[in-house]
Amino acid sequence: MQITVLTVPDCPNGPVIEERITAALSGRDAKVERVEVREQDDAARWGMTGSPTVLIDGVDPFAPAGAVPSVSCRIYRDADGAADGAPSVEELRQALAGAASAVGTASEDCCDADVLDVIGRGGRGRLAPAEGGLRAVHQAVLRHFADTGRPPAAADLEPVASTAGRTAQDVLAELAREDFLTLEEAGQIRAAYPFSAVPTPHRVRIAGGTEVWSMCAVDALGIAAMLGRDTVISSQDPVTGAPVTVTSVNGATQWEPRGAVVFIGRRDGSGPAAALCCDALNFFAGEASARTWAKEHPDVPGHIVAQDEAEDIGRQTFGPLLPS
């Protein structure tokens, strides 16, 4: 268990809350660290809503509804309304017990392959079958997106589909049924993982000048591997609004901020990834805001992954789609 105490410099209640945390732990194993926060932007990044703020595995269990980031002093109130500069030992003990219980539940759910299908299509991946012109048309769609930033029209795909004795619209409809892409009611391409024809929180600039929208964080990370080209991903933390940038040059990546992570989640039910997963796979500026988002979305089972793991998932998912 990770406990982080966030304070402004020289906060008189910093030592108080640390003493109470020690008493509440009663000898249980936990890593406790104290972080001094001086700037409003840092308060927003950490999720500090006044000094002191205590985070248990990145979550503030005492955060009141509507609380906003702040470097001001924080007042806590007990059940009788009495003010204090820190939670009581008993309140901390209850919060620690609740966090331990939540971790146990999450670890069972998040490791269930039936709950999270990151690679897509029940683990079968996103490489379309070669039969019936599916792969050829799918690859033509992806290349058109990469070259222009837009989806092709069905007419643009007719020469490719005709080599399999089919119409482009027929092949696109089958690709949509198998969740390789999604279509508008009128039959236009709305998305072809990893690309989106409509704006999303994830913008990707491809070497050469093309800019595209990606369906989710993992999709954005997979574009460089799929195309074998440098990319710059521009996204933002959905909790704090802080920018997140991932630059890929010659296969090496640089994340900003350095503590950024990805949350991978999936709603229960059946349907295309666009409906169940894509808005639940996001970049976060740090673990604290990712945990806040997860707490606010209990209907989305998932887990936080580090940068290397997120990049690896993107490569596995999209690297095989286009031949070099």
Each residue's pLDDT expressed in tens, for the chain with a length of 324 residues? 789 999 999 999 999 999 999 998 887 778 889 999 999 888 887 888 899 999 887 778 887 766 778 899 998 887 777 889 999 998 888 887 765 544 443 333 333 333 355 556 655 678 899 999 999 999 999 999 999 999 999 999 999 999 999 999 999 999 999 999 999 988 899 999 999 999 999 999 999 989 999 999 999 999 999 999 999 999 999 999 999 999 999 989 999 999 999 999 888 777 788 887 888 899 999 999 999 999 999 888 888 999 999 999 999 899 999 986
| Most distant CA atoms of the chain, gap in Å | 78
Residue 59: name the closest of 195, 229, 239 by CA: 239
Q: How far apart are alpha carbons 5 and 53 in whole angstroms?
A: 6
Say what the pLDDT of residue 195 is: 97
Please check whether residue 151 is in contact with residue 189, taking contact to mean a CB–CB distance below 8 angstroms. yes
Whole-prediction pTM value?
0.65
Say what the pLDDT of residue 134 is: 96
The structure tokens 């673990």 sit at 287
Two structure tokens written together for 150: 């837009």
Q: How far apart are alpha carbons 96 and 90 in whole angstroms?
A: 10
Q: Phi-psi region for residue 143, left (φ > 0), alpha (ψ -120 to 50) or beta?
A: alpha
Q: How far apart are alpha carbons 292 and 219 in whole angstroms?
A: 23
Say what the pLDDT of residue 108 is: 35
Q: H-helix or E-strand containing 284? A: strand 281-284
Q: Which domains does the chain have, with CATH numbers?
A: 2-104 (3.40.30), 131-318 (3.30.450.410)
45 three-state secondary structure: helix
Q: How far apart are alpha carbons 52 and 149 in whole angstroms?
A: 47
Say what the pLDDT of residue 65 is: 63
Q: H-helix or E-strand containing 288? A: helix 287-296
Say what the pLDDT of residue 111 is: 33
